[in-house]
Amino acid sequence: MNTALISRRRFAQLLSVGTAAAVVRPVISFASSPFEAAASTVIRLSANENAYGPSPMALKAMTDDFNLACRYPDEQNDVLIEKLARINGVNRDQILLGDGSSEILKLCAETFTDKERGKLVAADPTFEAILNNASVNGVEVVRIPLTRTFVHDLPKMMAAASGGLIYVCNPNNPTASITPKTELREFIGKTPRETTILVDEAYYHYADSPDYESMIPLVKDHPNLIVSRTFSKIYGMAGLRCGYCVAQKDTIKRIRPHQMWDSVNIMALAAASASLNDPDQVPNGRRLNNEVKAFVTSELEKMGCQSIPSQANFFMFDCKRPVVPLIQALKGRNVYVGRLFPALPNYMRVTVGRKSEMETFLSAFRQSIA
């Protein structure tokens, strides 16, 4: 008996539940999964995931490629790189795929920072993964506070760097704020070539401010610029793990030897390629996110809690009291929100989930502050 076939059929049956109702973007329900059962009791607004799930086209691509799980992912790797190169207007040798963009961040820390030569300069607060990647290798990490409007303080960051790496997260996690395109362009133009700049655009697709722009077009003129992206956010593939970066060919060549071979799995590659063919995934994701974000932030405002203007699928608001007891109180009500960011001890980071999830969050929050 062909067990692979049976598994595949079972997988397809499970997926058809999601695909048939895909027009309304259902919660993908693998009812037989113990993980799903556990997850259904919790409102998870803690990791900036996409509550609407992957594209139906990504789900279909995975079922179609299920029997290829026995192969190394060479062709799928090439196909995705080809598509990403075309979409971003660069050559194939300017793209490096990663096991999530987390792998890209780690590779950049390993390639461009070093105990003797180069420290890591980053904002405070920002997404800490790369700070941990650098400091575990004994690299000095310099944190430069965001400005009062939650923008990267680029002049101070440049002044603090000498060689090494500057990490600019735009939109920034946890504040969901952006650093304006004109400031960022000028900064990239002025930074000496010995210092590498990594612009993390994990939340690129959610940003719609006229002051926001991707820095990918600047790569052609700047060998010291790397821009990272992910399939974990608007493409809803956080559990599959796929990200990438764009840089000049020689910069990619410097990074690649630090990477594990075949680090992106075949299902993630199939899903990522198919997602790029779905014309609805990005606009629908943006629209739903904006609608629900406007709802929840205005409800919080009615309670006197101001949010930092958000350009992402999460937001941060001022609780006007220490956030840690509130995080715990919400957890006790099965609502998980973002962790403490020590630079902003009175601010809570909340992922924008579905409207019903945000209603549950609001009700639990009201109870927690009562």
Ligand X SMILES: Cc1ncc(COP(=O)(O)O)c(C=O)c1O
Give dist(CA 290, CA 208) in Å, integer: 10
Cα 225 to Cα 245: distance, rounded to the nearest angstrom: 10
Locate the DSSP E strands across 39-179: 43-45, 95-98, 120-124, 141-145, 165-169
Cβ neighbors of 244 (< 8 A, separation 6 or more) are 84, 95, 96, 97, 98, 101, 104, 228, 229, 230
Q: Is 261 exposed, middle or buried (0-12, 13-18, 19+ CB in 10 A)?
A: exposed
Among 50, 111, 113, 173, binds ligand X (CB under 6 A): 173
Beta pairing, strands 120-124 & 141-145: parallel
Which of 120, 122, 158, 169 lies at the binding interface for ligand X (CB under 6 A)? 169
Q: Between 177 and 230, whose beta carbon lies closer to ligand X?
A: 230
What's 136's DSSP letter? T
Shortest distance, position 81 Cβ to ligand X, whole Å: 17
Residue 246, interface with ligand X (CB under 6 A)? no
Closest-by-Cβ residue to ligand X is 100
- Least distance from ligand X to the Cβ atom of residue 232, Å: 3
For the bound state, the minimum distance from the C-beta of residue 291 to ligand X, rounded and expressed in Å, comes to 22
Which residues inside 325-364 make contact with ligand X, applying CB under 6 A? none
**Which one, 103 or 357, has the nearer CB to ligand X?**
103
Candidates 1-9, 34-42, 76-84, 230-238: pick the segment binding ligand X (CB under 6 A).
Answer: 230-238
CA-based end-to-end distance of the chain: 61
**Residue partners of 290: CB distance under 8 A and separation at least 6:** 208
Closest by CA to 78, choosing from 280, 272, 236, 241, is: 272
Shortest Å distance, C-beta 127 to ligand X:
4
Residues 40-59 that bind ligand X (CB under 6 A): 48
Q: Which residue number, 200 or 213, has a Cβ lying nearer to ligand X?
A: 200
Which region among 94-102, 132-140, 154-162, 277-285 touches ligand X (by CB under 6 A)? Answer: 94-102
Query: Distance between CA atoms of 124 and 295, rounded to whole angstroms?
Result: 28
Least separation in angstroms between residue 97's CB and ligand X is: 11
Query: Taking CA 277 as the corner, what is the angle to CA 275 and CA 282, rounded to the nearest 5 degrees?
Result: 60
**In the numeric block, which tokens belong to residue 351?**
């992922």
Question: How many secondary structure helices (H) and strands (E) does the chain include?
Answer: 13, 11
Among positions 46, 94, 101, 275, the unique one binding ligand X when judged by CB under 6 A? 101
* Smallest separation, CB 129 to ligand X (Å): 6
Report d(CA 100, CA 280) in Å as an integer: 22
Which structure tokens are listed for 234?
């608007």
Is residue 230 part of the contact set for ligand X (CB under 6 A)? yes
Residue 269 beta carbon to ligand X: minimum distance, rounded to whole angstroms: 14
CB 323 within 8 A of CB 345: yes
238 binds ligand X (CB under 6 A): yes
Q: How far is the CB of 242 from ligand X (least distance, A)?
A: 7
According to DSSP, residue 68 is labeled G
Nearer to ligand X, 14 or 141 (CB): 141
Determine the size of the site formed for ligand X (CB under 6 A).
Answer: 13
Q: Which of 14, 95, 202, 267 is in the footprint of ligand X by CB under 6 A? A: 202
- Write the interaction track for ligand X spanning residues 106-145; mark x where CB under 6 A is met and - where it is not: ---------------------x------------------
User: Rounded to the nearest whole angstrom, what is the least distance from the CB of residue 92 to ligand X in the complex?
Assistant: 21
Select from 53, 54, 100, 353 the one that contacts ligand X (CB under 6 A): 100
Q: Does 102 bind ligand X (CB under 6 A)?
A: yes
200 is an interface residue for ligand X by CB under 6 A: yes
Question: Which chain residues interact with ligand X by CB under 6 A?
Answer: 48, 100-102, 127, 169, 173, 200, 202, 230, 232, 238, 243
